[in-house]
């Protein structure tokens, strides 16, 4: 039988195992800024990448507000996300997770950065797609032996975010089936 594609397609084939593998990859890249991992298993409607779709299914549930920024906010994506995660769709200022291209996600000032008592009550951004306009950055800090390298969309903005530590936003970067991450604890300098 041919696979019928419906608004409900594109979930994990084996949710517990797939989600556990994906979580391991997500945790590894967040713990070791600069490293990239493969992230596969879920297919979302366009324009979301496979890595972004897999990340959403792994991290979101009915208690995490998700903001779909710009072109990511389509009827198909909304239905897909609701069916597979039950996550409520919220505005940028209330989001636990926000997803879209870098341009669509900006400005960062709209997202929650946590409070002194609960720094974890902050947004995690999933920057999905094209990295052509990115420039090379050198990363140092927790989880990095000596130095690591990652190409980032806007180094100045990222540096400003790191200044807020222990408050601030954390980032995943997804492209195709690849994921990398940048936590707020990482120090960033220009150039490779």
Positions in the binding site for other proteins (CB under 8 A): 1, 3-4, 6-9, 11, 13-15, 61-63, 82-84, 86
Q: Output the smallest distance, CB 69 to other proteins, in A.
A: 21
Beta-carbon contacts of residue 63 (< 8 Å; ≥ 6 apart): none
83 vs 165, beta carbon nearer other proteins:
83
Minimum gap (Å) between residue 190 Cβ and other proteins: 40
143/21 Cα distance (integer angstroms): 20
Q: Which is nearer to other proteins, 1 or 116 (CB)?
A: 1
| Whether the Cβ atoms of residue 101 and residue 123 lie closer than 8 Å to each other | no
Residue closer to other proteins by CB (options 2, 107) is 2
CA-based Rg of the chain, rounded to a whole angstrom?
16
Nearer to other proteins, 12 or 173 (CB): 12
Beta strands 66-68 and 170-175 are unpaired
- Shortest CB 57 distance to other proteins, Å: 11
Peptide bond into 45 cis (omega under 30): no
Q: What is the CB-side half-sphere exposure of residue 133 using CA atoms within 13 A?
A: 8
Q: CB 150 → other proteins: shortest distance, Å?
A: 32
Cα–Cα dist 156/154, whole Å? 6
Are 165 and 159 spatial neighbours (Cβ–Cβ below 8 Å)?
no
Q: For residues 85 and 178, which CB has a smaller minimum distance to other proteins in the complex?
A: 85
* In the complex, minimum distance from the CB of residue 4 to other proteins, in angstroms, rounded to a whole number: 5
């Amino acid at each position: 039988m041919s696979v019928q594609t419906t608004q409900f397609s594109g979930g994990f084939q084996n949710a517990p195992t797939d989600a556990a593998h994906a979580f391991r990859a997500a945790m590894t890249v967040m713990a070791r800024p600069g490293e990239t991992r493969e992230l596969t298993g879920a297919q979302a409607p366009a324009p979301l990448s496979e890595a972004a779709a897999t990340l959403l299914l792994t991290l979101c549930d009915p208690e995490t507000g998700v903001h779909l920024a710009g072109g990511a906010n389509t009827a198909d994506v909304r239905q897909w996300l609701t069916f597979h995660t039950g996550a409520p769709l919220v505005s940028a200022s209330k989001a636990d997770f926000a997803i879209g291209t870098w341009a669509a996600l900006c400005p960062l000032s709209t997202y929650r950065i946590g409070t002194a008592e609960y720094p974890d009550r902050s947004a995690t951004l999933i920057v999905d797609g094209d990295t052509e306009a990115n420039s090379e950055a050198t990363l140092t800090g927790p989880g990095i032996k000596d130095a690591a390298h990652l190409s980032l969309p806007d180094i100045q903005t990222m540096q400003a975010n790191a200044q807020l530590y222990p408050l601030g936003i954390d980032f995943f970067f997804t492209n195709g089936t690849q994921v990398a991450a940048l936590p707020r604890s990482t120090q960033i300098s220009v150039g490779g």
